[in-house]
Amino acid sequence: MRHDIEFHTTDGTLLRGWHYVPDGSGPFPTVVMATGLSGVKEGGRLPDLAGRFAAAGLAAVVYDHRNLGSSEGTPRQEIDPLLQMRDYSDAVTFAESLPRTDPDRIGAWGSSLSGGHVIVLAGQDRRVRAIVAQVPMVSGRECGQRLVPAPALAAAAAFHRADRRARMAGGEPAMIPVASPDPAAPAALPTPDSWEFVQKDNDFPTYRNEVTLRSMELLTGYEPALLIERVSPTPMLMIVAEDDLVCPPELQLAAYSRAHEPKRYVGVRGGHFDVYRETPAFDLAADAAVTFFTEHLGAPA
C-alpha cells in the first residue's frame, strides 16, 4: 500500500513523497530512499524497488529532494549535496515518527549522488542500521575531472564568475542541461548514455533536464569517500556497475576497499543507468538490496 506523505526539514523546507507499507500491522523495518542528482521519485524505478521492499516486509519512505520534483525549495533545480544529505537525516526523523515504523530498524538506500549521501549519513547518524549505496558518487572532484576535459573546466570558470555576480545582484541563476545530444556541449552529465536515459526514462511531468550552474561547483566539493571508514559498524552494501561512465567503477572500488566490515560488494554488468531500467542489472541490484536489508534490519515484528 502506498500513501502520499510530506514533512518539513529542520530548516523548514517541505519535502513530498510516498510511504510504502507492507500488509500487516507492523511496526516495520523501514528504508529511507531518494534519487540521484536531478531525478524525481517517479523515475529510476524507485516505485518498483520500494514495492519490492514492501513485498518483503520492509516499509519505505521515498521522497523528492529539495528544489526538485514535487518538493519545495529554491532555487529550483539547484543541487546542494550537503543540504540533500542533511535532508536524508531529517527523513529518518520523519520515518521514526510514523506509527508503523520500528525506529530501531531504519535503513537508507541511495543511488548515484544519493549513493554518496547514504555513505555520509551512515558515517554520522547511528540511527541508520544498514545502507545500500548503488553506483555511488564517491568523489565530486574526481568524477568531475573524468567527465569534463580540463580545457572545458577552465573555460567554465568565467561562466561561474558571471553567474555569482548576477545572483548577488538579484538575477536568476544560470542553468545547464543535465544531458545533451551534443557530446561537446556543456552538460552536468556529458555522456551518451546520460542523454539516452534523460530522453527515454524521465518522461515525468515534474522532471526537468536542467540544473543550476552553481550545482556543478557544489558537487565538485562533495567527497563522500572521506567518510567511508566511519560507516562501520553500520553494515554497508555497495552495488557497482562494471561499465559505469558517470561514476567510474575504480573510484567506487577504491572507496569500498577502505571501508571496514561489515560490508558487501555486488557487481552488475552494464552502465550507470542499467540499474534503473528493466534489465538484469536492475533485478540483480534490487534482489541484493532486499536480501541485505532483510538480513540486517530483520523481518516484520
pLDDT at 147: 81
Q: Over the stretch 221-235, which tens digit does the pLDDT of each residue have?
A: 999 999 999 999 999
At 232-266, the pLDDT tens digits run 999 999 999 999 999 999 999 999 999 999 999 99
Domain of residue 9, residue span: 2-143+219-297
| pTM, full prediction | 0.95
> Could you tell me if residue 259 is left (phi over 0), alpha (psi between -120 and 50 degrees) or otherwise beta?
beta
User: For the chain, what is the radius of gyration of the CA atoms?
Assistant: 18
pLDDT at 184: 78
Domain with residue 80: its CATH number is 3.40.50.1820
Q: Could you tell me if residue 84 is inside a domain?
A: yes
Residue 196 lies in a domain: no
Q: Is residue 200 part of a domain?
A: no
Residue 191, in any domain of the structure? no
Residue 82 lies in a domain: yes
User: What pLDDT is stored for residue 225 in this prediction?
Assistant: 97
What is the total count of domains within the chain?
1
Whether residue 158 is contained in a domain is answered as: no
Confidence band of 178 (pLDDT split at 50, 70, 90): very high
Measured in degrees and rounded to the nearest 5, phi and psi for residue 156 equal -70, -20
CB within 8 Å of 14: residues ≥ 6 apart: 6, 7, 8, 71, 72, 73
The answer to whether residue 193 sits within a structural domain is no
Q: Is 156 contained in some domain?
A: no
Question: Quick check: 191 pLDDT over 80?
Answer: yes
